[in-house]
Amino acid sequence: MLFQTKEFFIFFLIVLVLLTVFRQRKAQVAMLLLASYVFYSWWNILLLAPILFSTIWDFFSAKQIYKSKTLAIRKRWLLASLTVDLGMLAWFKYYNFFIEPFNTFFAAIGVKHSLPILNIILPVGISFYTFEAISYAVDVYKGKCKPCNNLIEFALYLAYFPHLVAGPILRPWDFLPQIAESKTITRASFQQGIHLFLVGLFKKVLIADNLALFSDSILSKPQGQPSLTIFLATLAFGVRIYCDFSGYSDMGRGISRIMNIELPVNFDRPYLAQNIQEFWHRWHISLSTWLRDYLYIPLGGSRSGNTYANLMITMVLGGLWHGAAWNFVFWGAYQGGLLIAHKVISTRLNLSPGVQAFLAKPSGKILSWLITQYFVFMGWIFFYVASVPDILYCVKKYLFFDFNFSIGGAGFGQVRPFTTVFLLILFAVGQFIAVQIGGYDRALNNLTPAKRVMSYAALTIFLFILWPLTDTPFIYFQF
């Protein structure tokens, strides 16, 4: 069930009515959990089995971690909890990915029997709720939070439908305290939620889905395309994935805020970052902070003598988290390389007062921004393009411009190139305006009723003119 479909609008209207009818907190929690399972099983009712198992297992294992009297027993329970959670993720998401190279190796050494390739249904959002379950167990182990005493409440923490299939990744203290009291839909919560939802819908339907028509047509078959086309397609995909993913986050936050439950901000205008470290502080914030807290720091972080190795391991595993494919591994390694390069270069630049003074000037900030975003967008080639020859071709065309400005063979016929360029310009202008006004949702909240109606009308007109013919799933549903 996609947020931008009529089925979801009907579903959510029913949820709001029931939330108003059921005033008691326990009834509201039970209703929201049932609604979340209906929402999740809309794709396939079999998807409920792994999340139900994970919910029950992590609920009881966390209790065992908390009440264990010795550190050794607590560690055993934590290890058991992590083994089951990661084992489920590995089975559903990575079994075939790792079995294929094993079979190749066995064949090379003369072993006749091979392990079967299975047709496994990947549960939507399993990476997200698995990471939430892991953070819950680890935080209980470290004493950062107490285990939840109510299975229904814990189940809602993992399955809450506004964030279930594509984040943000919640921490226990982000969510559980909020459902400790009954919820009332207020005028302020409804207005703020609607604003957030509309901003997200605008990003997803108007910008992301239309840019997909161009970026997909080029990057799926890039061979023979000139540098200008590859560069424009890469730019289009970078804007598309941001508007698609941040659009989902905005829509999910808006839906949740209507019900007076706050979800954390997941994006903070990452394409304004002036270095790669800042980019990762702004992009997919819930994942980057999760990787920092539960992987990078436990590995030793920057305090050990293996800072660069820890960065690379963290980012490669972060890339693999996105999908069972080598291009995601390459993308993670590329991001790790950028972060390492940033640490090395910034350390040396800090020794030069003249360089620091230049970088503090507007011209220096613009140069830093241009260099950062040039390499950030090149990274999207690794993220999207699946085959190694196509990746190498795109990177070559991206790095070494061929000055071929012909678009005759670029396959533009059915992909509305002028719409693509218009949307890219619209996005760039929108980012500048967002900085000036402090965010779209805040600006909408500050408008007078008359101006707000005019803004809604303008959004509606744009949506009707440029709404694609099909409802495109969110990119991060596959993760």
Indicate whether 427 belongs to any domain. yes
CB of 288 closer than 8 Å to CB of 336: no
Could you read off the pLDDT of 313-348 as tens digits, one per residue? 999 999 999 988 899 999 999 999 999 999 998 888
pLDDT level of residue 83 (50, 70, 90 thresholds): very high
Indicate whether 102 belongs to any domain. no
DSSP at 479: -
For the chain, the domain total comes to: 2
Q: Do 135 and 200 belong together in one domain?
A: no
Indicate whether 72 belongs to any domain. yes
Indicate whether 389 belongs to any domain. yes
Residue-range definition of the domain harbouring residue 151:
6-97+124-183
Could you read off the pLDDT of 406-450 as tens digits, one per residue? 654 444 444 456 667 777 777 777 776 666 566 655 666 666 777
Q: Do 161 and 248 belong together in one domain?
A: no
Q: Do 380 and 401 belong together in one domain?
A: yes
Q: Do 314 and 411 belong together in one domain?
A: yes
Q: Do 169 and 299 belong together in one domain?
A: no
pLDDT number for residue 442: 62
What are the C-alpha distances in Å from 260 to residues 67, 167, 171, 347, 437?
33, 18, 18, 45, 25
What are the C-alpha distances in Å from 162 to residues 2, 150, 179?
11, 21, 14
Q: Do 163 and 198 belong together in one domain?
A: no
Q: Is the pTM for the entire model greater than 0.75?
A: yes
Report the distance separating Cα 21 and Cα 71, nearest Å: 47
Q: Last residue of a domain, which of 164, 183, 202?
A: 183
Indicate whether 465 belongs to any domain. yes
Indicate whether 104 belongs to any domain. no
Could you read off the pLDDT of 47-61 as tens digits, one per residue? 899 999 999 999 999
Report the distance separating Cα 263 and Cα 213, nearest Å: 31
pLDDT number for residue 373: 95
Q: Do 197 and 255 belong together in one domain?
A: yes
Q: Do 227 and 268 belong together in one domain?
A: yes
Averaged over 456-465, what is the pLDDT?
Answer: 68
Q: Do 231 and 279 belong together in one domain?
A: yes
Active site residues: 322
Report the distance separating Cα 446 and Cα 317, nearest Å: 42
> Minimum mean pLDDT among 28-32, 219-223, 358-362, 460-464: which range?
460-464
Report the distance separating Cα 330 and Cα 336, nearest Å: 10
C-alpha dihedral sign at 231, 232, 236, 242: positive
pLDDT level of residue 82 (50, 70, 90 thresholds): very high
DSSP at 272: G
Report the distance separating Cα 382 and Cα 426, nearest Å: 26
Indicate whether 306 belongs to any domain. yes
Q: Do 143 and 229 belong together in one domain?
A: no
Q: Last residue of a domain, which of 140, 157, 183?
A: 183
Q: Do 200 and 171 belong together in one domain?
A: no
Q: Do 267 and 243 belong together in one domain?
A: yes
Q: Cis peptide leading into 168, omega within 30 of 0?
A: yes
Indicate whether 47 belongs to any domain. yes
